Structure formats: structure tokens, C-alpha cells
Chains A and B, each alone.
Chain A
């Protein structure tokens, strides 16, 4: 498994989850865990995903998600999960 964390930030609106999960499905990315919250008016969604079947190299995928996110005023990041583990786990 090649795990990564996808995070989505935006002003809350209808259909954000549907839009982002459809993007991930289009690139054969499997969602392992998902959580979303509203902080004041802001929508924050975090997903743990598996990139094993994704054909794109990491940096192209990151660019693609960023561009697709920008079309709907969404801030989409994808990062390898190790950075979070390194920072928060001993």
C-alpha cells in the first residue's frame, strides 16, 4: 500500500465531498478513512488514501488535484502520511 493524506479546505458548500471523492475515483485512488468537520464557516475534510493503483506519479497527481480543486475554490493538498507520523508519534 502507498498511503497518503488528502486534505480539503473550503468555504462550506453543497457537493464538496461528492466532487472530491469522484476525482479520487477517476484516478483509481482508494479511500481508507475519511473525516470531515465544519470550523465556523469553513469545511475541512481529511482522507487517508491508498495510491497503489493510481497511475500518475505523485507530483503530477498533486498538481492535478490542486488544479481541479481551484475550479471549485477548494484548497486540496496531498501529502505522504509519514510526515504526520514523524511529527506526532514517537
Chain B
């Protein structure tokens, strides 16, 4: 069926793209590297490089032609791979940095923006390979540019691996000491998903096909614009408006995903319906919450407004796409959102409120700068809190903290580009060392008697 020209619809679409920052945030190709196992890190690295280059050869050029033909910006082109702790398990070497470097080289060769999957799944315990990978993270992130790393430390089914939580606190500190930027590429998950196209947490799960295309949409600016016409209306109207807008945004993501899949001869996986903010003015999730009626994001009422937003985005998006997956919902990364940065700088948004918000948003404590002298145990305790929220509530939670080495509360750390900048936020001063040093596992939670 051909499109019957309707000027107001066409103008609306063009304005969404030109003035309201509507874009496809990422086309992410998931590639299985399970066939790249080898007996040494060097030969594994060689196979990894060859396979990524072969599979993703046309990803960037085809994404560009979709961008040009449809006039819709595709901000990032990315690749996610099988968790490297699985791929490298048969290597004799203990240091997996050569494989990270091969991923980095491959990413540069094919011209993508990020590559994810330097990852380990350790929710119930570490394999020897998981430990090798985790210990290789600080050095690998310092020596590569485009490689992203993630570690899953808990799940609703398995409980929380507190040994992994303790170790990740140390790994984040070590990574920050080498280069704080490294921490922007490192996520600690509970209930990690296998088809997430967003960084830094993307990896290609073992249940996924050989190769797959996942698309992540964006569009906080479009939702904010639509809400400007809802002033004084009942909250039902707000929810309905967000749903309708999310539908339109997702339809565009679905179109791009289908086109990319067809042109690259790779099956379509999912559209991730996330409202992903950028530091640009007018592309902020915090601004949406403020338009719903909060003087500042972070004040009382923020959790409720975010819950409504997160749910309405999913409801609107689900019907617009044949397959929805990934993290889907609203992201609340502090440094990547101009409204969050402002709220944090004014003291309206605290880490405690952010933690509460993660109970109802799609991910977790994201891109938060903490004082440079924060101990590994405190970082671990924050991870444990966040993992507990995910475990009990059956949702994905994540922690991406940046210890701002040499800086303290009130100062600012700049990352540049989509990662933005963040004010260093205050933490509680009481120690949780004795708790973290216990190690062991928090048992999986009960699934009945829910109160």
C-alpha cells in the first residue's frame, strides 16, 4: 500500500528529526564467537578479529545508506559478541587483554563506534575463565578505545554472588586509577539481558543466533515536546500521550531494523524501546519528569512520575514492533542527561533518590561520578544494593560508577561526546567493609508471599 500524502504528518516527522533530536540510537549487530575458541589467547584473538571483520564488514556502509534514504540519523553502529569468558575458556593464558585488543582493532577496521562483550556471567559463581576475564578488565579497558565490558553478578534465579560483588568494587577502582574513562565502559549487572543493543552492557547471549541485528531507539526530546501540549491535563492524558509518542518512535526503529536486517542478510532480533537521553538540550529524561509536574527531577514524586513514564513507553512501543527486547524503558544516566546534571548540581538529585528511581526505570545507577577516594568496599556495597533491587523485583539493574580520581564532591568530570559530564556526587560515609568482606552468596529470593 502506498502512503497517502498528509502534509501535517510529514511535517511532524521532519520536526521530530530536525528539532526534537529523534534518532535511532544504535544499530547493533550481535555476533556469536563461540567458534573462535583456541588454545592460546593470541590465536583466539586472531580468530575473533577475522570473524568480527567478516560479519560486520558492511554494517556501517549499509547503516549509512539507510540514514540517507530515510533521512533518519543512526547515531551509533555497534557490535556485541559472545561473552569473552566463554570464548577464551580454553586458552592457556591468564590475561585476556590480547583478545580485547583484537576486538578493538576489529571495531576500528569495520568503522563502528563501540564493541561490547568483554564480559562474564558470574551470578552463581566464577569459572576460572570468568576470573581471568574479570582480572583482565582494568588493563584491557585502559589499552583499548572502543571495547565495553560487563559482568553479571546476580539474578532472580541464582541470588547474588557476593564474591563477584567484592571483586568488582576492586576492579572499578583499579580501572579508574588507570583511566576514569575506562569506568564509563564497564557495567556490573543483575539479571543481564542477552539481546541488549545499548552500551556499555551489550553482549551476544548464548541463546542468540549466529548473527543478529538489534536496534535501539531514542527520543526523550520527542516525548518532552508532546508533553508540552498536556499542561494542566489529568495524568491519564500524560500516560496516553507518552504511549502514542512511543508508538511512533518505535515504528521508525522497527522500519530501520527490518531494512538493516534485509540489506545485511542477517535476521532481525529485537527493537529496544529505550528513551536514551543525550547531553543535548531538549533530549533529557529529567526534562520529561519536570514537564509531568516536578519543579526539579529528584524531588518527591520523581519515582512515581518515572514509573508512569517507563510503563507508558513500553505500552506504546510494544504494539509498534514485532519483537521487543533488550532493556526497554527509560534510562537515567546522570552524565548523559542535561536535566539530571542540573538537578544533581543543585543538590535536588541524590544518589539515594537515584537508587529509588532504579526500582522503576529500565536499568540502574548509570554514569554517576563518585568521589575519587571512594573505597572498593563502598563501591561493592553500592553494587550489592542495586543488585538486590534487581534480584527481588525481577528486573535488570546495573551499576556504572566513575570514581573521579583526584576529585571530590562539587567538582565535575568530563567524558565528552554522548557520555557528557557529571558532577561528583556525595555518598554515605559509614563503612560496609565487614559486610562485603564476608563473601559468599545471597540466596535466591522466594517467589511467593510477595509483600
In the complex where A3-B3, A33-B5 touch, is A80 in contact with B248 (Cβ < 8 A)?
A: no
A62 within 8 A of B: yes
In the complex where A86-B255, A87-B248, A87-B251 touch, is A59 in contact with B68 (Cβ < 8 A)?
A: yes
Contact of A35 among B5, B65, B251 (CB under 8 A): B5
A79 to B3, CA, bound (A): 13
A82 within 8 A of B: yes
A59 touches B69 (CB 8 A): yes
A88 touches B69 (CB 8 A): no
B254 touches A86 (CB 8 A): yes
Chain B residues near A48: list those with CB within 8 A. 3, 5
What residues make up the interface of B, taking CB atoms closer than 8 Å to A? 1-3, 5-7, 9-14, 65, 68-72, 248, 251-252, 254-255
A7 to B69, CA, bound (A): 13
A44 to B362, CA, bound (A): 39
A–B pairs, 26, beta carbons within 8 Å: A7-B10, A35-B5, A37-B7, A46-B7, A48-B5, A58-B65, A59-B69, A78-B71, A79-B69, A80-B70, A81-B3, A82-B70, A83-B70, A83-B71, A83-B255, A84-B6, A84-B10, A85-B3, A86-B251, A86-B255, A87-B248, A87-B251, A88-B6, A88-B12, A88-B13, A88-B248
A46-90 CB contacts (< 8 Å) to partner B: 46, 48, 58-59, 62, 77-89
In the complex where A81-B3, A86-B251 touch, is A44 in contact with B69 (Cβ < 8 A)?
A: no
Chain B residues near A82: list those with CB within 8 A. 3, 70, 255
A-B pairs, 10 with minimum CB distance: A79-B71, A85-B3, A86-B255, A59-B68, A88-B9, A83-B70, A86-B251, A81-B3, A48-B5, A35-B7
A82 to B69, CA, bound (A): 10
Chain B residues near A85: list those with CB within 8 A. 1-3
A17-62 CB contacts (< 8 Å) to partner B: 33, 35, 37, 44, 46, 48, 58-59, 62
Contact of A77 among B3, B5, B14, B254 (CB under 8 A): B14
A27 to B10, CA, bound (A): 23
A1 to B255, CA, bound (A): 20
Report the minimal beta-carbon distance from B255 to chain A, rounded to whole angstroms.
4
Output the nearest chain A residue to B72 by Cβ-Cβ distance. A83
A5 touches B5 (CB 8 A): yes
B3 touches A58 (CB 8 A): no
Chain B residues near A77: list those with CB within 8 A. 14, 71
Report the minimal beta-carbon distance from A11 to chain B, rounded to whole angstroms.
16
Contact of A86 among B12, B69, B71, B252 (CB under 8 A): B252
Q: How many residues of A contact B (CB 8 A)?
A: 25
A46 touches B11 (CB 8 A): yes
Apart from A62-B69, A85-B2, 11 more pairs, CB < 8 Å: A3-B2, A7-B11, A7-B14, A35-B5, A79-B71, A79-B72, A82-B70, A83-B71, A83-B255, A86-B251, A86-B252
Report the minimal beta-carbon distance from B61 to chain A, rounded to whole angstroms.
11
Report the minimal beta-carbon distance from A50 to chain B, rounded to whole angstroms.
11
Contact of A83 among B7, B65, B252 (CB under 8 A): B252
Output the nearest chain A residue to B66 by Cβ-Cβ distance. A80
Chain A residues near B68: list those with CB within 8 A. 58-59, 62
A48 to B12, CA, bound (A): 16
A79 to B17, CA, bound (A): 12
Output the nearest chain A residue to B14 by Cβ-Cβ distance. A7
Chain A residues near B255: list those with CB within 8 A. 82-83, 86
Chain B residues near A46: list those with CB within 8 A. 5, 7, 10-11
A88 to B252, CA, bound (A): 10
B65 touches A87 (CB 8 A): no
Chain A residues near B6: list those with CB within 8 A. 84, 88
Output the nearest chain A residue to B259 by Cβ-Cβ distance. A82
Output the nearest chain B residue to A75 by Cβ-Cβ distance. B18
Chain B residues near A58: list those with CB within 8 A. 65, 68-69
Report the minimal beta-carbon distance from A41 to chain B, rounded to whole angstroms.
16
Output the nearest chain B residue to A78 by Cβ-Cβ distance. B71
A46 to B4, CA, bound (A): 12
A31 to B71, CA, bound (A): 19
Chain A residues near B69: list those with CB within 8 A. 58-59, 62, 79-80
A83 touches B5 (CB 8 A): no
Chain A residues near B7: list those with CB within 8 A. 35, 37, 44, 46
